[in-house]
Amino acid sequence: MFMHMSVTVAVSGASGYAGGEVLRLLTSHPDVEIGAVTAFSSAGDRLGSHQPHLRSLADRTIVETTAATLAGHDVVVLALPHGASAAVAAELGPDTLVLDCGADHRLVDPAAWSQFYGTDHAGSWPYGLPELMTANPTQRQTLAGARRVAVPGCNVAAVTLGIQPGVAAGVVQARDLVSVLAVGYSGAGRAAKSHLMAAEGLGTAVPYAVGGTHRHIPEIEQNLRAVGATEVSLSFTPTLVPMARGILATTTARLAPDVDPATVRQVWEAAYVDEPFVQLLPAGQWPTTVATQGANTALVQVAVDERAGRVVTVCALDNLVKGTAGAAIQSMNLALGLPETTGLPVEGVAP
Ligand SMILES: NC(=O)C1=CN([C@@H]2O[C@H](COP(=O)(O)OP(=O)(O)OC[C@H]3O[C@@H](n4cnc5c(N)ncnc54)[C@H](OP(=O)(O)O)[C@@H]3O)[C@@H](O)[C@H]2O)C=CC1
Ligand SMILES: CC(=O)N[C@@H](CCC(=O)OP(=O)(O)O)C(=O)O
């Protein structure tokens, strides 16, 4: 029988969307004791005034994010704006497990970082997508025992999980990928202006970062190279739709020459048959975002458009769970040697 551990976890960015979701999931993690909850402008406030849904933590006081307030914890989760985490992490000892929900440590290539983020590269950490189909080592082996983890971007997780089986098996051409995503507003963070969202976002779909400018492009390309692509070219277009949570990522790719379309589904089945958090739906059933809401689940479907000569995949996930907080806790479990699925829900909330 597995003996439960007692791991103290501090959450930084506790007043935000990602930090709030980390806290929600941690409240039902059997091995975790929640320590400091830290933030920035809301330091001194009751947590409940920012996260009224977290009843058991409502009377905690948010404290400032400093080396002193984060010291003494086994694990620190950083859910801070881009650029803020490197300085905080540098103050934490090498034995502390630090999980960064921000982008600062995801990209390996400093030139790609500078091109898309416009600042100096802080370096790269082991990447917190356990399902990434790397070999020798597997991504799970990379995460086992890690003390620094870069949690993937939410759109990145959705596109990667959708298309990687075909790329890894060589049945699609990674040099001709097209991804179009419907994304919910919480992906923009709590700092986005809510009155503008309501006035300008309700009842309409709004494309953004069109034309090869989105900072998730190099991260997706990095993932697909890691699973075996030699040449990757991705056209990536996200569109805001009026929902709070969720990403529906549709990716199409040209079939590789001489691939029998009948084998495509088998490739996706083999990739995900043993994955606890990624499910290939029965043929003909298409993912919906609502079915993943609140769950550390990615739902995937694949079909072949023989007329166009393209494979079509759809992946749905909750940006705040499998897209960040759930991925962080899944990676934490692996890093600490806990069962990977501990404390992570797979059931969604619907309708
Ligand atoms: N929202 C999402 O779906 C996803 C988010 N992420 C990443 O998670 C991180 C947090 O995003 P999200 O929760 O959406 O953002 P929010 O705007 O909702 O929250 C930001 C948090 O960071 C704190 N903060 C702001 N500035 C500083 C600072 N200079 N130093 C320390 N803390 C600061 C805020 O504190 P205060 O309120 O007290 O000022 C708040 O707690 C980002 O890096 C984001 O990219 C990743 C994947 C998905
Ligand atoms: C709606 C919306 O703005 N979504 C954000 C998601 C960002 C995210 O959460 O990922 P990072 O951690 O890489 O910032 C976007 O597309 O940029």
- What six digits make up the tokens of 102? 């921000």
CA 175 to chain centre: 24
Q: Provide the 10 A C-beta neighbour count for residue 69.
A: 18
Residue range 201-214: average pLDDT?
Answer: 95
pLDDT digit string, tens, across residues 32-80: 999 999 999 999 999 999 999 999 999 999 999 999 999 999 999 999 9
Average pLDDT, rounded, for the chain: 96
Distance CA(318)–CA(10), nearest Å, equals 23
CATH of domain 155-318: 3.30.360.10
pLDDT of residue 47: 98
Q: Give me the catalytic one of 9, 36, 122, 154.
A: 154
Whether the Cβ atoms of residue 82 and residue 103 lie closer than 8 Å to each other: yes
Let me know the angle formed at the C-alpha of 185 by 128 and 302, rounded to the nearest 5 degrees: 60
Whether the Cβ atoms of residue 63 and residue 15 lie closer than 8 Å to each other: no
Residue 154 among the catalytic residues: yes
Helix (H), strand (E), coil (C) string for 233-275: CEEEEEEECCCCCCEEEEEEEEECCCCCHHHHHHHHHHHHCCC
Domain-wise residue ranges, the chain: 7-152+322-336, 155-318
pLDDT digit string, tens, across residues 108-132: 999 999 999 999 999 999 999 999 9
CATH of domain 7-152+322-336: 3.40.50.720
Whether the per-residue pLDDT at 192 is higher than 90: the answer is no
- What six digits make up the tokens of 332? 């934490």
- What six digits make up the tokens of 146? 């890690």
The number of helices, as runs of H, and strands, as runs of E, in the chain is 10, 13
pTM: 0.97
Q: Ligand 1: residues within 6 Å at CB?
A: 13-19, 39-42, 65, 79-82, 84, 101-103, 153-154, 186-187, 189-191, 319-320, 323-324
Euclidean distance between the first and final Cα of the chain, in Å? Answer: 37
Residue range 243-247: average pLDDT?
Answer: 96
Residue range 177-197: average pLDDT?
Answer: 91
> 101: which strand partners?
none
Locus of tokens 């030139």: 111
Sign of CA dihedral 247, 248, 254, 256: positive
The bound ligand whose nearest atom lies closest to the alpha carbon of 320 is: 1
Percent of the chain's residues with pLDDT above 70: 99
pLDDT of residue 35: 98
Q: Which atom of ligand 2 is nearest to the CA of 101?
A: 12
Residue range 271-295: average pLDDT?
Answer: 97
Distance CA(253)–CA(26), nearest Å, equals 38
